[in-house]
């Protein structure tokens, strides 16, 4: 009976179904783990206040409980800590106490005595700062130009409107400094290079030089106007300060210009917690990073990842499709063609770091340097394209993924019936017309499949990008409002490298850990969105040319 059951093939069907189900469960479970660990970081946690009393110390601790773990008592005693308990295991807490500028560290492990009572005062304030991380403590007063503006009883009610007003001033200052003054500096640099180019070429065009001088004068005048506006804004933004007290009684003065947001976690309602959660999540997605990438947002990394993948797709698709068409439709099918196909397949197995070294040596040191010598001599010795940038990163990943596009396109071309080619030629069409009007349209779904696979691989690559363009922090996006708008020579940020940097290079490991999960989840989402877009295009093309296939 069992032998007959095995011969029927049913066990192998169930085995395959079990393997597929297990794989799906593992993938979904992994994504859920990453999502929960990452997205829960932005939920406003309650803050405890507890007295730590033992033979060595008597202190008040304020902070968030990040995690707990059971540890053997003997292990703690071996570390020189006297613990009076009969239990074999004891609970220790990882507290985020913040106030790094005063306490030296954001986190500390604490073992509370068994009779310790945790308190949750509603007037404890959590302040997210632009520098030195979070503040936990009590607000004592608000000062305006050094004079008391609000006492402890009224400070909290007056603080939130002042923070909103200050953040608007901060955004205005950032817009002027980064966009308006940045654009002026960019235009001045281009005028300087234009003047130097005239000098290198021996051109003494007084009219052109006069136009450059007029433009420089206008830009300097505009800069002076913006500088006056900035002086007023800086005076306004530095008007208020918060006087506060941390857990050890130290007094802290926090300028309002350094505050991102402030709230009382223990007093928040459910609606308040949800509102704060989405505010912090929005900041993570749309703002720039700060505090060595452990605070703030990752928008430049998202933007850089998407732009690089799009440039890579634009570069790799024509090259891969043309190569596949030549190998399938024009090349003589012999030993040489088979050898080329073997080489293409082997290229897909080359380690990605090798492509990075190739890109560094060929694209940057050779091709980029030659481009600088021919087209940008006025900028030398400062390189323009002879340095890592988004163009070379896209080209490097295009070479890395071109075998995938070639193989997928060839498979699509091989599935097109020979009768369609012969019928088109019999009706008087040339080979080129047959290829352009019949073969390529029918093969476009396979081309899109190749591009989908290329995007899936390229979006997650990090090793080659570290050599050819990605950086920890990019001051300017590769795409902005300054002509020529798309700056292919600029370095950029990438989600994959951001994960590596935060996870392995961060000086604040505990603070960076949840951001690794959040950024990983966001990288998966970006890849999924890019792939779904390509799949949608492929399905539309497949429906469009279904009649030809039938």
Q: Name the token pair of 297.
A: 């947002």
Q: Give the confidence band of 548 by pLDDT, cuts at 50, 70, 90.
A: low
Reported as type and span, the H/E element at residue 210 is helix 206-237
Residue 11 has pLDDT above 80, yes or no: no
- φ and ψ at 119, to 5 degrees? -110, 150
Residue 110 has pLDDT above 70, yes or no: yes
What pLDDT was estimated at residue 282?
92
User: CA 195 to CA 201: how far, in whole Å?
Assistant: 10
- 299-549 fold: MetI-like fold (1.10.3720)
What pLDDT was estimated at residue 232?
93
Residues in CB range of 47: below 8 A, 6 or more apart: 62, 63, 64, 120, 124, 126, 136, 265, 266
Q: Give the confidence band of 229 by pLDDT, cuts at 50, 70, 90.
A: very high
The string over 46-65, giving b where at least 16 C-beta atoms fall within 10 Å of a residue's C-beta and e elsewhere, is ebbbbeeeeeeeeeebbbbb
What pLDDT was estimated at residue 473?
86
Q: Give the confidence band of 6 by pLDDT, cuts at 50, 70, 90.
A: low
Residue 233 has pLDDT above 90, yes or no: yes
Average pLDDT over the chain reads: 86
Specify the residue for token string 């007959």. 4
Say if residues 295 and 133 touch (Cβ distance below 8 Å).
yes
Say if residues 315 and 424 touch (Cβ distance below 8 Å).
no
Reported as type and span, the H/E element at residue 48 is strand 48-53
Residue 5 has pLDDT above 80, yes or no: no
Mean pLDDT (whole number) for 232-242: 92
Q: Is 491 helix (H, G, I), strand (E, B) or coil?
A: coil
What pLDDT was estimated at residue 398?
92
- Across 111-115, 233-237, 284-288, least confident range: 111-115
What pLDDT was estimated at residue 248?
80
What pLDDT was estimated at residue 265?
92
- What confidence tens digit (pLDDT) does each residue in 491-532 have? 999 998 999 888 888 777 778 888 889 998 988 888 888 888
What pLDDT was estimated at residue 459?
84
- Across 3-7, 243-247, 265-269, 529-533, least confident range: 3-7
What pLDDT was estimated at residue 389?
92
- φ and ψ at 185, to 5 degrees? -60, -40
Residue 436 has pLDDT above 90, yes or no: no
- What confidence tens digit (pLDDT) does each residue in 117-149 have? 888 998 899 999 998 889 999 999 999 988 888
What pLDDT was estimated at residue 545?
65
Mean pLDDT (whole number) for 364-387: 90
Residue 169 has pLDDT above 90, yes or no: yes
Residue 366 has pLDDT above 90, yes or no: yes
400: nearest Cα among 365, 363, 364, 359: 359
Say if residues 440 and 290 touch (Cβ distance below 8 Å).
no
Residue 170 has pLDDT above 90, yes or no: yes
**Could you tell me how far CA 459 lies from the centroid of its own chain?**
11
User: CA 106 to CA 508: how far, in whole Å?
Assistant: 8
Burial class for 14, CB neighbours closer than 10 Å (0-12, 13-18, 19+): exposed
Residue 44 has pLDDT above 60, yes or no: yes
CA distances from 155 to 235, 239, 242, 258 (A): 22, 15, 9, 17
Mean pLDDT (whole number) for 471-485: 84
Residue 437 has pLDDT above 90, yes or no: no
Mean pLDDT (whole number) for 411-431: 83
Higher pLDDT, 448 or 285: 285
Q: Give the confidence band of 70 by pLDDT, cuts at 50, 70, 90.
A: confident
DSSP 8-state assignment for residue 382: S
What pLDDT was estimated at residue 416?
82
299: nearest Cα among 534, 512, 493, 144: 493
Higher pLDDT, 237 or 532: 237
Residue 390 has pLDDT above 90, yes or no: yes
What pLDDT was estimated at residue 111?
81
User: CA 226 to CA 259: how far, in whole Å?
Assistant: 24
Mean pLDDT (whole number) for 156-164: 91
Residue 173 has pLDDT above 90, yes or no: yes
| Three-state SS annotation for 59-92 | EEEEEEEEEEEEEEHHHHHHCCCCCCCCCCEEEE
What pLDDT was estimated at residue 280?
92
What pLDDT was estimated at residue 412?
83
What pLDDT was estimated at residue 84?
67
Domain boundaries, the chain: 38-136+261-286, 146-238, 299-549
């Amino acid at each position: 009976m069992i032998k007959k059951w095995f011969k029927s093939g049913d066990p192998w069907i169930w085995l395959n179904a079990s393997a597929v189900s297990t794989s799906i469960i593992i993938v979904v479970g992994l994504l859920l783990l990453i999502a929960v660990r990452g997205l829960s970081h932005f939920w406003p946690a309650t803050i405890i206040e507890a007295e730590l009393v033992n033979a060595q110390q008597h202190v008040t601790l304020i902070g968030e409980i990040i995690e707990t773990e059971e540890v053997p008592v003997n292990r703690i005693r071996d570390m020189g800590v006297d613990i009076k308990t009969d239990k074999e295991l004891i609970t220790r807490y990882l507290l985020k106490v913040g106030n790094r500028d005063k306490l030296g560290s954001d986190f500390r492990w604490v073992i509370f005595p068994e009779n310790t009572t945790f308190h949750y005062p509603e007037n404890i304030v959590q302040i997210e700062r632009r520098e030195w991380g979070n503040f936990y403590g009590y607000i004592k007063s608000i000062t305006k130009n050094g004079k008391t503006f609000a006492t402890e009883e009224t400070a909290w009610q007056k603080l939130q409107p002042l923070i909103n007003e200050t953040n608007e001033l901060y955004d205005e200052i950032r817009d002027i400094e980064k966009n308006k003054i940045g654009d002026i500096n960019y235009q001045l640099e281009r005028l300087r290079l234009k003047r130097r180019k005239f000098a290198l070429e021996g051109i003494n065009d007084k009219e052109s030089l006069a136009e450059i001088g007029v433009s420089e004068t206008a830009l300097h005048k505009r800069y002076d106007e913006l500088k006056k506006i900035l002086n007023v804004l800086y005076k306004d933004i530095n008007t208020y300060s918060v006087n506060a007290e941390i857990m050890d009684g130290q007094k802290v003065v926090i300028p309002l210009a350094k505050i991102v947001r402030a709230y009382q976690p223990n007093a928040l309602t459910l609606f308040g917690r949800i509102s704060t959660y989405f505010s912090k999540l929005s900041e993570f997605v749309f703002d720039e990073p700060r505090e060595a990438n452990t605070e703030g947002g990752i928008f430049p990394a998202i933007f850089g990842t998407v732009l690089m993948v799009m440039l890579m797709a634009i570069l790799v698709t024509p090259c891969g499709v043309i190569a596949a068409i030549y190998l399938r439709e024009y090349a003589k099918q012999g030993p040489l063609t088979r050898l080329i196909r073997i080489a293409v397949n082997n290229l897909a197995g080359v380690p990605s770091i090798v492509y990075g070294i190739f890109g560094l040596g060929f694209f940057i040191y050779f091709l980029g340097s030659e481009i600088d010598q021919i087209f940008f001599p006025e900028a030398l010795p400062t390189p323009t394209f002879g340095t890592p940038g988004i163009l070379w990163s896209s080209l490097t990943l295009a070479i890395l993924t071109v075998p995938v596009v070639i193989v997928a396109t060839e498979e699509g071309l091989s599935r097109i019936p020979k009768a369609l080619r012969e019928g088109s030629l019999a009706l008087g069409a040339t080979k080129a017309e047959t290829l352009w009007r019949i073969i390529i349209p029918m093969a476009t779904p396979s081309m899109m499949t190749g591009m989908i696979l290329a995007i899936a691989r390229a979006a997650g690559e990090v090793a080659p990008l570290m050599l050819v363009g990605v950086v920890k922090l990019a001051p300017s996006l590769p795409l902005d409002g300054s002509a020529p708008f798309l700056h292919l020579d600029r370095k950029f940020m990438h989600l994959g490298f951001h994960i590596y940097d935060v996870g392995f290079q961060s000086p604040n490991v505990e603070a960076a850990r949840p951001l690794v999960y959040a950024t990983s989840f966001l990288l998966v989402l970006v890849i999924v969105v890019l792939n779904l877009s390509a799949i949608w295009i492929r399905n539309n093309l497949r429906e469009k040319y279904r009649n030809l296939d039938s």
